[in-house]
Amino acid sequence: MKTILVIEDEPLVRSFVVRVLTRENYRVLEADSATEAREVSNDFEKIDLVITDHTIETRTGRLLVAQLRLSRPHLKVLHMSGYSEEYLLSRGTLPIGTPFLPKPFVHTNLVDAVQRLFSPPADRYWSVTADLPPLIH
């Protein structure tokens, strides 16, 4: 059974994500802050995926994930945000190719995003908002 840590400070969003993933037979851990996420992470040896709000408290979820990856270098992550992917990319807070799920979303979007992260490596580079123009080199 895969274990997922959900980090979200908005109780309604967090409970929705936890409920959907539990129904999909994932073991789901939850945290409402960066501090709680670190505590939960320390209490559980096996965490396969972190789903985090892109902005948690006063920091980006990316910084929190970097801290969690110190002890779990291969940790998969899915960022979610009410800001658009284009906006976060333009601000430089979301690296290109980072798995991202825009809020609001429905349960099928969430389940699809999680399943993609657990799929073979060839299918991992993706974006829910696939209408971005190609990069020019």
Domain ranges of the chain: 3-123
Is pLDDT larger for residue 63 or for residue 102? 102
Question: What does the alpha-carbon distance between residue 103 and residue 84 come to, in Å, rounded to a whole number?
Answer: 8
Provide the 3-class DSSP secondary structure of residue 67: helix
Q: Which long-range contacts (CB under 8 A, 24 or more apart) does 57-63 make?
A: 57/9, 57/33, 59/34, 60/93, 61/7, 62/93, 62/94, 62/95, 62/98
pTM over 0.85? The answer is no
Residue 133 reports pLDDT greater than 50: no
pLDDT > 70 in the chain, percent: 84
CATH of the domain spanning 3-123: 3.40.50.2300
Tens of pLDDT, residues 26-75:
999 999 998 999 999 999 989 999 999 987 765 666 788 888 888 888 89
CB within 8 A of 40, min separation 6: which ones? 5, 29, 30, 31
Predicted local distance difference test score (pLDDT) of residue 131: 45
